[in-house]
Amino acid sequence: MAWALVNSTTETTDTFTDGQVTVTVPETTVGNLLIVVVHMDTVSRTITSISGGATFTSFHRQSGASGEAGWIEVQAGIVETPVTSVTVTLSGNSTFGINNRVTVLEFSGSADPATESGTSTGTSNATSVTAHDAAAVTPDTDETLFIGAIRIGGEPGAWTFDPDFTGAFTLETTQTPVLYRIQSGDSSAQAFNNTSTFTRSSQVLLVAFRGATAGATTVSAARSLRPH
């Protein structure tokens, strides 16, 4: 079963001023992979829970050093119950940072349970640099979904990304882009980079998820056969 994007939604109005953000999404489908990407400008806050019809696991958190604002985290899980919203709760509110963001992506074609393919990578640039890159991830399967995300300090201007990636949330001047790449029939390594030349501090990450193997029972079908 090949990977396919079902839906992508980003909350751009609610920015954790009460410590919680709820993202309204189209009704999710049992067996699909639900990915939550959180961009945060307040370094002292952490995710305490994510609710939304799945059991979520953190796959990568990329944070700056103490006293350095900002982090990105990717959590994911297989949909067990259809829902129309996903709620992220932090350890406290964040009155700082208009660029706090939550992006929710739903994909079909995932292995069950949600499993990392290869080892995620990331970088934190405390000072202004022109390269905002995550090192290559080498998947351990030939059906792979790559999720790349960047948090930029200051307005970056227009983004230019590796053309292998597709934007899930990439407003032209956003500081919090999320992109994905579906790689089918190929276990080659894949890096994630911004090819623009502006100079900013940043956090960058790249996570790969394992797809269902060719000829295997699909995730949704497998779940429907399990005792309840």
Task: Convert the pLDDT of each residue in 34-52 to its tens digit.
Answer: 999 999 887 888 999 999 9
Q: Which amino acid type is present at position 212? A: A
* Whole-number Å distance between alpha carbons of 71 and 40: 5
pLDDT tens by residue, 85-138: 999 999 988 876 677 889 999 999 999 999 999 999 999 887 888 888 899 999
More reliable by pLDDT, 168 or 154: 168
Among residues 150, 48, 136, 58, which one has the least CA distance to residue 94? 48
Per DSSP, the three-state class of 31 is: coil
> What percentage of the chain reaches a pLDDT higher than 70?
86
Report whether pLDDT(214) > 70. Answer: no
Report whether pLDDT(7) > 50. Answer: yes
Q: What is the mean pLDDT of residues 180-207?
A: 88
Sheet of 57-63, strands arranged across: 4-11, 101-108, 33-40, 71-78, 57-63
* Whole-number Å distance between alpha carbons of 122 and 148: 9
56 falls in which pLDDT band (50, 70, 90)? very high
pLDDT value at residue 156:
64
Report whether pLDDT(30) > 90. Answer: yes
pLDDT value at residue 41:
83
pLDDT tens by residue, 71-95: 999 999 999 999 999 999 999 888 7
Contacting residues for 2 by C-beta, under 8 A, at least 6 apart = 109, 143, 182, 184, 211
pLDDT value at residue 221:
41
pTM listed for this prediction: 0.90
pLDDT tens by residue, 58-75: 999 998 765 456 899 999
224 falls in which pLDDT band (50, 70, 90)? very low
Report whether pLDDT(174) > 60. Answer: yes
- Residue 50 parent element (H or E): strand 47-51
Number of CB atoms found within 10 A of residue 35's CB: 27
Main-chain phi, psi angles of 221, to 5 degrees:
-65, -40
Two tokens at 19? 């410590």
Two tokens at 70? 């900002």
| CA end-to-end distance (rounded Å), the chain | 24
* Whole-number Å distance between alpha carbons of 148 and 29: 23
| DSSP, residue by residue, 98-150 | TT-EEEEEEEESB-SS--B-S--EEEEEEEEES-EEEEEE--SSSEEEEEEEE
Its sign, for the CA torsion 21, 26, 27, 33, is negative
